[in-house]
Amino acid sequence: MNRDMGQRLEMLLEEVQRPARYTGGEVNAIKKEWRPGRTAFCFAFPDTYEVAMSHLGMKIIYEAVNAREDMLCERVMMPWADMADGLKAAGIPLYSLESRRALSEFDAVGFTLQYEMSYTNILAMLDLGGIALRGGQRGERAPFVIAGGPCAANPEPLAEVVDAFLMGDGETATVQMLEVIGAGRREGLRRERILLRLAGIPGVYVPSLYESVWHEDGTLAAFTPKVEEAPARVVKRVETDLDAACFPAAMPLPYTEAVHDRIVLEIMRGCTRGCRFCQAGMLYRPVRERSPGKLLEQAQALFEATGYEEISLSSLSTGDYSQLLPLIRGLNERFEGRRVSLSLPSLRVDGPLQEVLADSGRVKKSGLTLAPEAGTQRLRDVINKGVTEEDLLRAVREAFEAGWNSVKLYFMIGLPTETDEDVLGVAALARKVVDCYYALPREKRARGLKVVVSASTFVPKPFTPFQWAAQDRLEEIRRKQGLLRNALNIRGVTFNWHDPETSFLEACFARGGRELSPVLLRAYELGCRLDGWSEHFNFQAWLQAFSDAGVDPAFIAHRAREKDERFPWDFVDIGVTRGYLWLENERALRGQTTPDCREGCGHCGLRRFEGMCPE
């Protein structure tokens, strides 16, 4: 950034909200010298600074790339509307935090795809950074736009935008992609040749090397590689040994408050429970754990580097970590004297929690989060949640007896086979939780009961047993939300619900194909951005974008699929087979549960791969 542009930026920073989002220079940030032969990578998070600085994946990749002498990694986030408009008006390109270089100067820009409603932010960041929105329009020296994360499991809606996608774990594979890009640039290879080399990396998908054919009724007829270098199936990458995998010893400390401003320890990856709505539970199989010794070592290093006073134990199902009690005791012994508290999200409710709660609450009692997901046992069996009402009530009783007074309960509405009785069961369960609190003698319960009931809208996701299911129509979701809102008029209970329009679009982009790239590009032309923020979400503009592109969103979101219908994501091999997912779909419709695979192999398909699934 030249001197004149720097002066314009300083003036702009005086006018925008929270200028600390855009200044960089945080403690523990890594600023490496730009020099010939060093591959420059910018990790792009398509949401605001506060959200990005809470994302563990960004910190892991930041560490992994910067550990290489021949590479550098910098960061960029989606600017808020005032900053985005200000950059455009002042003629300042979107820049990285570390060196304030425009995105167009990097060899590669990599987006993490955490949420479908961030896709217009990707377009906004590319546009502001001086990079063509369509991959086919990028010049020879333009950065390679790469992407990974859970939403990359169905990459097709972004096929015209992203040059290469990574399926699965990114610690090692991202560095391999940058090796190929850097070597190709040093050798003077053309862009097309570098893309062919990227396609040869296991787990990498290059959409320009494939083509789709559609039936007249709008369903997918065929999806095939156009060149022999492109594999017919792309198998996800798996880090099999988390103790050996990269993990940061220090993390940049945000200048402004982040959503989760604390040390985050990833204690394990994957889940064996098999909830049928849960995409992450299928994508991140198999379960891999970090050892307590390694976690204590990482916690010590991060505490010394950050000074944070809270440690969060992160995983899909923290209560399933086999060494949870020894780990909690070890952390308490090491940090209790320093007043560092522990946070335990995503606890299961089907095992005794008393001992865990007692140990984790020795420093400070944070809120307890439980996820029954459905209000009746019938529907919990349909989704294979594997918990009972007795499990839940025992868990909250144990929490209240241990001094907790704040409980968050997460549910979904619109699940397959759901009835009004299931919806009202959410309120009945919430009332029983409140009754558990008031059943305790006054002197034995913490003051100020707070029960928060959150109900999200079910979205049928790829690679789940419910990928064949239809999403409820908007009017039906609104009716169910109203039914539940009236029933939850209970003392001490707060009800939160999600906007059904965003869930509708989420379903479209979760399960749609390449036909959605023109919709996305048109929505951005119509001003859509920051769609995950209610104050910026413009549903009517999205409907116009679908209409202008000639795509019916209801055909994508509200239509049940036939057993043999081809999905846009069928070429991706996540380990779990389609046959297993269909079997689970049939079991769901019968209300038949499937045991946790730690209790015995369910033959999901992972054992096809040597070393991937433990015996």
Q: Are 97 and 20 in contact (CB under 8 A)?
A: no
User: Closest Cα to residue 508, out of 497, 499, 520?
Assistant: 520
Same domain assignment for residues 220 and 274: no
Which two tokens mark 599? 């209790």
Q: How far is CA 271 from CA 274, 282, 320, in A?
A: 7, 8, 8
Indicate the pLDDT class of residue 45, thresholds 50, 70 and 90.
Answer: very high
Please give the pLDDT value at position 612: 66
Q: Give the number of domains in the chain.
A: 2
Same domain assignment for residues 405 and 454: yes
State whether residue 59 is helix, strand or coil.
Answer: helix
Q: Which domain holds residue 48?
A: 3-235
User: What b/e string do you get for 203-235 counting C-beta neighbours within 10 Å, with b at 16 or more?
Assistant: bbbbbbbbebeeeeeeebeebebeeeebbeebb
Which two tokens mark 243? 């103790």
pLDDT exceeds 90 at position 95: yes
Same domain assignment for residues 215 and 284: no
Same domain assignment for residues 187 and 277: no
Rounded-to-integer distance, Cα 30 and Cα 602, Å: 45
Same domain assignment for residues 206 and 309: no
CATH number for the domain spanning 300: value is 3.20.20.70
Residue 155: inside a domain: yes
Q: Are 30 and 73 in contact (CB under 8 A)?
A: yes
Residues 271-325 have pLDDT tens digits of 989 999 999 999 999 999 999 999 999 999 999 999 888 898 889 888 889 999 8
Residue 580: inside a domain: no
Please give the pLDDT value at position 213: 94
**Residue that has been written with the tokens 């702009």 in this structure:** 12
Which two tokens mark 436? 């558990």
Residues recorded for the chain = 615
Residue 507: inside a domain: no
Instruction: Please tell me the chain's helix, strand, coil percentages from 3-state DSSP, rounded to the nearest 5.
Output: 40, 15, 45
Residue 609: inside a domain: no
Number of neighbouring beta carbons within 10 Å of residue 124: 23
User: Closest Cα to residue 364, out of 297, 310, 416, 418?
Assistant: 310
Rounded-to-integer distance, Cα 432 and Cα 212, Å: 52
Rounded-to-integer distance, Cα 392 and Cα 408, Å: 12
Rounded-to-integer distance, Cα 258 and Cα 405, Å: 25
Same domain assignment for residues 143 and 278: no
- Which of the listed residues 440, 467, 498 is the one where a domain comes to its end? 498
Residues 442-468 have pLDDT tens digits of 988 888 999 999 999 999 999 999 999
Same domain assignment for residues 222 and 267: no
Considering the chain, what is the average pLDDT of its residues? 92
Residue 526: inside a domain: no
Rounded-to-integer distance, Cα 342 and Cα 364, Å: 7
Indicate the pLDDT class of residue 587, thresholds 50, 70 and 90.
Answer: very high
Same domain assignment for residues 199 and 269: no
Q: What is the CA radius of gyration of the chain?
A: 24
Residues 501-531 have pLDDT tens digits of 999 999 999 999 999 999 999 999 999 999 9
Residue 460: inside a domain: yes
Residues 316-367 have pLDDT tens digits of 888 889 999 899 999 988 987 887 888 776 555 555 555 555 555 554 555 6
Same domain assignment for residues 287 and 205: no
Conformation bin of residue 427: beta by default, left when phi > 0, alpha when psi is -120 to 50: alpha
Residue 558: inside a domain: no
Cα–Cα–Cα angle for 389, 452, 273, rounded to 5 degrees: 45
pLDDT exceeds 60 at position 553: yes
**Residue that has been written with the tokens 């610690």 in this structure:** 171
Residue 382: inside a domain: yes
Same domain assignment for residues 231 and 378: no
Supply the DSSP symbol for 115: -
Q: How far is CA 195 from CA 136, 158, 162, 185, 229, in A?
A: 12, 16, 11, 12, 10
**Residue that has been written with the tokens 């069928």 in this structure:** 570
Indicate the pLDDT class of residue 398, thresholds 50, 70 and 90.
Answer: confident
Q: At what angle do helices 539-549 and 516-525 cross, to 10 degrees?
A: 130
Which two tokens mark 310? 């809270």
State whether residue 280 is helix, strand or coil.
Answer: helix
Secondary element (H or E) of residue 400: helix 389-401
Indicate the pLDDT class of residue 1, thresholds 50, 70 and 90.
Answer: confident
Secondary element (H or E) of residue 162: none
Please give the pLDDT value at position 363: 41
Rounded-to-integer distance, Cα 530 and Cα 78, Å: 8
Same domain assignment for residues 230 and 269: no
Contacts of 338 (CB under 8 A, 6+ apart): 303, 309
State whether residue 97 is helix, strand or coil.
Answer: coil
CATH number for the domain spanning 170: value is 3.40.50.2300
- Check residues 336 and 580 and name the one with the higher pLDDT: 580
Same domain assignment for residues 219 and 300: no
